[in-house]
Amino acid sequence: MARRNHTDTPGFILMGLTDSEEIQLVLFMLFLLVYLVTVLGNAGLILLIRLDLQLHTPMYFFLCHLSFLDLSYSTVITPRTLENLLTSTSYISYLSCFTQMYFFVFLAAAECFLLASMAYDRYVAISNPLHYPSVMSTRRCCSLVCGSYLIGFTDSSVNVLCMHRLRFCDSNVIPHFFCDTAPILALSCSDTHDTQIMIFIFAGSTLMLSLITIFLSYVSILSTILKISSVSGKQKAFSTCASHLLGVTVFYGTMIFIYLKPSESYSVKDQVASVFYTIVIPMLNPLIYSLRNKEVKNAFIRIMKKKESIR
């Protein structure tokens, strides 16, 4: 038995966010509302980009995949959390727990590099606009997106393989509302030193390499914007990347707070931050990219007018 699943426990118990039934009900209603907005916002944005030909550009190609990732990794976490809040069922099997962790790490890591690809796209669009169509060709855009998914797959595979080698002998209570790396590592009765180093290297590399790419892209963007003589020209150039910069700041702020530190320091503050980046941020991204984007608004108006004309 121990050789098959490397644990003496048949599964885990998720402690969740609170023991109070009243607060659980409030959180259930709040998270359900947030999840519905997440599904409608991201699915609606994907559909809008697919339907409107004027949005078939590299920027919206990346945005379409960003919405897919947000929708996917919110779905990996939120429905299970809603079930636990409503039924007070906190048990999760060993296989289900590691499956949830695998897909969450895969999707989150892929999003890191997709955001970096979007920053590179904005850099080319602003710093080298004349060569933008040739540089950001369909083949290159597809390569950047496929590379993001491949990196996410590699990161999550290494993460789960390292974790699967551990034994869980005593406590099976996870002080969290979903199966994340840090709280599960804290439960293991094996020596987790090498595993923590390996996971820290891969998680740190994912965050820092993508963040460095974003930082260098925006340094170049800022340098180009400052060279523009007209105020209106500067505002137009900055408006093309303002939404992306806001989304990057929110996403990376919480991810760095959680993952670039030792797992022993896991606390209630980490749970709050986890709620933010697993449940709230996937809802915010479509709002950030649509409400601050005239092209998306105009595309929505065009689609609505087409529907009216058909009627």
pLDDT digits (tens, 9 = 90+) for 209-250: 998 999 999 888 888 888 877 777 677 667 767 777 777 887
230: helix, strand or coil:
coil
Q: Which residue has the tokens 């649509």?
A: 290
> How far is the C-alpha of 296 from the C-alpha of 299, rounded, in Å?
5
Is pLDDT at 266 greater than 60 in this prediction?
no
pLDDT value for 7: 52
> How far is the C-alpha of 250 from the C-alpha of 281, rounded, in Å?
8
Any idea which of 34-48, 137-151, 280-294, 295-309 has the lowest mean pLDDT?
Answer: 295-309
pLDDT value for 23: 87
CB 141 within 8 A of CB 118: no
pLDDT band at residue 309 under the 50/70/90 scheme: low
pLDDT digits (tens, 9 = 90+) for 60-118: 999 999 999 999 989 999 999 998 888 877 888 888 999 999 999 999 999 999 999 99
Second-level CATH architecture of 2-310: Up-down Bundle (1.20)
The dihedral region occupied by 190, where left means phi > 0, alpha psi between -120 and 50, and beta the remainder, is beta
Question: What mean pLDDT comes out for the span 265-277?
Answer: 72
Beta carbons within 8 Å of 129's beta carbon, 6+ residues apart:
none
Is pLDDT at 20 greater than 70 in this prediction?
yes
pLDDT band at residue 145 under the 50/70/90 scheme: very high
pLDDT digits (tens, 9 = 90+) for 61-71: 999 999 999 99
pLDDT value for 272: 77
pLDDT value for 311: 61
pLDDT band at residue 292 under the 50/70/90 scheme: low
